[in-house]
Amino acid sequence: GRPSGLVTTRTTCGYCGVGCALDVLTRGDELVAALPAGDGPVNRGHACVKGRFAYGFRVSEERLTRPLVRRDGRLEPAGWDEALDVVARGLREAVASGGPDAVAAISSARATNEENYLVQKFMRTVIGTNNVDNCSRLCHAPSAAGLTAAFGLPGGTDCFDDAQRADCLLVVGANPAEAHPVVGARLLQRVLRGARLVVADPRAVGLALHADVHLRPRPGTNVALFHGLAHVLLAEGLADEDFLRRRATGLPELAELLAGYPPHRVSAVTGVPEGDLVAAARLYGRAARPAVFYGLGVTEHLHGTDGVRALANLAILRGAVGGDRGYGVNPLRGQNNVQGASDMGALPDQLPGCQSVTDPVARERAARLWRAEVPARPGLRIPQMFAAARSGALRALWVIGEDVCATDPDARRVAAALEACPLVVCDELFPSETARRADVVLPVASWLEKDGTFVNFDRRFQRVRPALAPPGEARSDFAVVHAVAAALGADLGCPTPAAALDECAALAPLFAGLSHARLDREGAVCWPAPDADRPGEARLYRERFATADGLAHLSACPYLPPGEEPDDDYPLVLVTGRRWAHYNSGSMTRRGGNLRLDAVDRLDLHPVDAAGHGLRDGDPVTVESRHGTARLTVHVGEETAPGQAFCAFHFPGSGVNTLTSDRADTVTSCPEYKVTAVRLRP
């Protein structure tokens, strides 16, 4: 029943990790509507205000349509030939003066799987370095490390549809109602149909308002909280002893540790009332099929990996993973392809398909396929790249789709790193904070203009199809990586995105059964998908875990305090996160109708703290930390706990990430975005 002249393109939303299937309607080069697909595997006819309406950015006057090259200190329009020549010359000079490890690339969830695959192949085979990383470093790197340590693979343990059969949901450090609205709505639907709900999050928003028990731990105390819950499970006989005997290891060490986490002590550390802690543990512990969903409130901490491992302990103690007695532990990814960027090997220590660069067998397989040596030494992580740039060791940095000067912590030091680096190349849609500091800016296609695949939060490969051509001279990142390689005299092979996924499938056993043709036929396939003739594994670990011994590993990691505590000088704890209308640095969602829904970065304060500072709703306020200063607009409400403040990072002009520190998870270098001591000046 659609009007004639409209073309419908089925694609996957490029914003959050839910990965909603959308039907994009176009007429000529005009985008008419983005409609949620009724048969979308996760969204089933739903979409949120971002996927549904935030496409006006495509035709923004600020959209980059020609390459820019810095001449005499100013970025000026240039042709592709000149821009590629400058990039190639700069890369050659960097390698000549500092060796291959003087070059690094930061890829991102803005790039498709095939683009991420090509970037890491370029860095490893043409430049000869493992210095490639992606934005998961800033969000879910602790998930990959923690889930791998517990179960053997870096993805969530179950698919969303299965988890929808859970009778108790434990939602931790996440606000899916705003950050993953379609999942938030489906979880709420489950609760309205009778599932019990425990929310552990400092803020009283979204699902927390519907919880049977809402735990509000002090930011930075998650590990103590999870150990407190585990203590009750053991003390009250709610652990699955048969499962622990057959399928898990590490119980004696954990039990010894948990003896030190009785509810009264955990209550003193976390601020969670003892009775609430016990009630939450009983709900989770007595459910027939519990499931855990968690977000960045678990990972973005000084001990974020420990947080994931301590959360995994709960599912293992209950035997609620790898069988029929529950739906494991599932990270809610903030960006659609952040899982895929890592799966494709855009990581300094991993080849495609979660294969370590230190594994000689995996390296040999890649070397044979790529006809090039693969360096064995793990490369630099993103924060190490910035440090190397500031020290002069890094001579060239290629940033693909990530506004590092707006979204990375301690933004002033990031800017200093870029200024110190002789060549900064930036693939971008807009003149972002990072692009403004680059030497060469390459205009690229958005998710509405690309061909490839994304992997969403439940390990689901889905097709991304171009509904429109990129504007002006903009090209896909896929074409750009090929062009840079060609400018250096190299041929990366795999001329099309479909060929790139085929090559990845040949290299990575986890993806061996995947191809564009299969996804076009079947719509979506979860990995592991080792066989083209069998469905992907939506639920993991039915037979054995993917650890070396086939067992789930309990973790006896002690609680350690956050890197920063409030004090007399900086008495409030700032937590950063997301709002419903915008996405990350807001570069796309601010350039369209969504700006009318949410027009500034607000600082949420409890009425007691607002009154204590003489602030009222709507007042401007200066926020100061030991690292920087931001200007925000006060919002007063009881959703924020006393002594805390909350803001998003959707408007780079407000300077939120000058406030955050460069402290990071001790295992993965994921920033401690969730705990910054601040003070206010009206």
Would you count residue 15 as binding ligand SF4 (CB under 6 A)?
yes
Contact 442, 480 (CB under 8 A): yes
Crossing angle for the helix pair 263-270 and 222-235, to the nearest 10 degrees? 160
Would you state the structure tokens that stand for residue 214, as one six-digit string?
A: 């809402």
Would you count residue 50 as binding ligand SF4 (CB under 6 A)?
yes
Give the interface segment with ligand SF4, choosing from 15-23, 196-204, 270-278, 284-292 (CB under 6 A). Answer: 15-23
- The footprint of ligand SF4 on residues 373-392 (CB under 6 A) is none
Phi, psi (deg, nearest 5) at residue 531: -135, 125
CB-neighbour burial class of residue 433 (10 A; exposed 0-12, middle 13-18, buried 19+): buried
Among 407, 180, 177, smallest CA distance to 300 is for 407
Report in angstroms how near the CB of residue 7 gets to ligand SF4 at its nearest.
20
- The footprint of ligand SF4 on residues 125-184 (CB under 6 A) is 180-182
- The footprint of ligand SF4 on residues 16-45 (CB under 6 A) is 16, 18-20, 43
Contact 479, 495 (CB under 8 A): no
Residue of the chain from 13, 104, 258, 366 that contacts ligand SF4 (CB under 6 A): 13
Complex with ligand SF4: residue 16 or 269, whichever CB lies closer: 16
Would you count residue 588 as binding ligand SF4 (CB under 6 A)?
no
Neighbours of 356 (CB within 10 A): 15
Q: Give, as one character, the DSSP assignment of residue 347.
A: B
Would you count residue 445 as binding ligand SF4 (CB under 6 A)?
no
Complex with ligand SF4: residue 13 or 287, whichever CB lies closer: 13
Report in angstroms how near the CB of residue 2 gets to ligand SF4 at its nearest.
20
Complex with ligand SF4: residue 182 or 678, whichever CB lies closer: 182
Which residues face 18 on adjacent strands?
Answer: none
Complex with ligand SF4: residue 182 or 266, whichever CB lies closer: 182
Complex with ligand SF4: residue 160 or 545, whichever CB lies closer: 160
Owner of token pair 């800016």: 441
Would you state the structure tokens that stand for residue 582, as one six-digit string?
A: 């915008």
- The footprint of ligand SF4 on residues 180-209 (CB under 6 A) is 180-182
Report in angstroms how near the CB of residue 19 gets to ligand SF4 at its nearest.
5
User: Whole-angstrom Cα distance, residue 423 to residue 86?
Assistant: 9
Neighbours of 263 (CB within 10 A): 20
Complex with ligand SF4: residue 48 or 504, whichever CB lies closer: 48
User: Whole-angstrom Cα distance, residue 176 to residue 188?
Assistant: 10
Complex with ligand SF4: residue 16 or 442, whichever CB lies closer: 16
Owner of token pair 């059969």: 165
Q: Site for ligand SF4 (CB under 6 A): how many residues?
A: 14
Complex with ligand SF4: residue 19 or 471, whichever CB lies closer: 19
User: Whole-angstrom Cα distance, residue 67 to residue 83?
Assistant: 7
User: Whole-angstrom Cα distance, residue 45 to residue 142?
Assistant: 32
Neighbours of 662 (CB within 10 A): 17
Report in angstroms how near the CB of residue 186 gets to ligand SF4 at its nearest.
10
Residue of the chain from 11, 24, 26, 51 that contacts ligand SF4 (CB under 6 A): 51
Would you count residue 331 as binding ligand SF4 (CB under 6 A)?
no
Complex with ligand SF4: residue 101 or 178, whichever CB lies closer: 178
The residues of the shown chain that bind ligand SF4, judged by CB under 6 A, are: 13, 15-16, 18-20, 43, 47-48, 50-51, 180-182
